[in-house]
Structure 1
Amino acid sequence: MGVLEDLADALARDAIDASEKLGNEDIITQVAKQLGATSTTMEETYLTSIRIRLSERRARRFLEARMAPKNQS
């Protein structure tokens, strides 16, 4: 990755972690707005990284749930 992608991805990871710790998903959008005020390119790259990371997480959780052994009573 290039510098732009590396920085945006690191920020995306931090924003996702912060949103989980704070219980506030709006933090992701607020960070995007801050980026957009100075660099729309960085904002777009950040949002792409957010979407990729969140979609991968959802898909992984789905797969793990499907692969988990069913409770047998």
Structure 2
Amino acid sequence: MSNTLDTLAAKLAEDTLKVMDETGQDRLFVEVGDVLAAASQSLEEAFLTEVRVRLAERKARQFLVGKLTEHRKKAKATESQ
């Protein structure tokens, strides 16, 4: 059962994030969670965890890209001096 739960939650999280990206509705996952809560608390919790993990990973990647961009700008400025 756990494998099914994890698989469904992961797929639903991926699909929800795609819709969020396309529509700009950044809190859509909360609404989907509410729908799930009425039917399955277990799936709701797994889904919300999957969404939060993916959103956190996105933020971390944005942070890394920013740091690398900053580093490269500094390196390029140093090279041109």
- The alignment's TM-score, normalised by the length of structure 2, stands at 0.81
**RMSD (Å), alpha carbons:** 1.7
Q: Return the letter of the residue paired with 1:70.
A: K
Q: Gaps (5+ residues) in structure 1?
A: none
Residue 57 of structure 2 corresponds to which residue in structure 1? 56
Compare CA radii of gyration and give the structure with the larger one. 2
Say which structure is richer in helix: 2
Greater relative CO (CA pairs within 8 A, separation 6+): 1
Which string of whole-angstrom CA distances, capped at 9 and with x for unpartnered residues, describes residues 22-45 of structure 1? 111232111101110000000000
Which segment drifts farther, 40-49 or 14-23? Answer: 14-23
For residues 1-73 of structure 1, the aligned pairs below 5 Å read 2-68=3-69, 69-70=72-73, 72=77
Q: Residues of 1 paired with 2:59 and 2:28: CA distance? A: 19
Identical residues among aligned pairs (%) = 36
- The alignment's TM-score, normalised by the length of structure 1, stands at 0.89
The ranges of structure 1 where at least 4 consecutive aligned residues each deviate by more than 2 angstroms after the TM superposition are none
How far is the alpha carbon of 1:20 from its aligned partner? 1.2
Q: Residues of 1 paired with 2:26 and 2:38: CA distance? A: 20
What secondary structure sits across from 2:73 in the alignment? Answer: coil
Q: How many residues align structurally?
A: 73
How far is the alpha carbon of 1:3 from its aligned partner? 1.1
Q: Gaps (5+ residues) in structure 2?
A: none
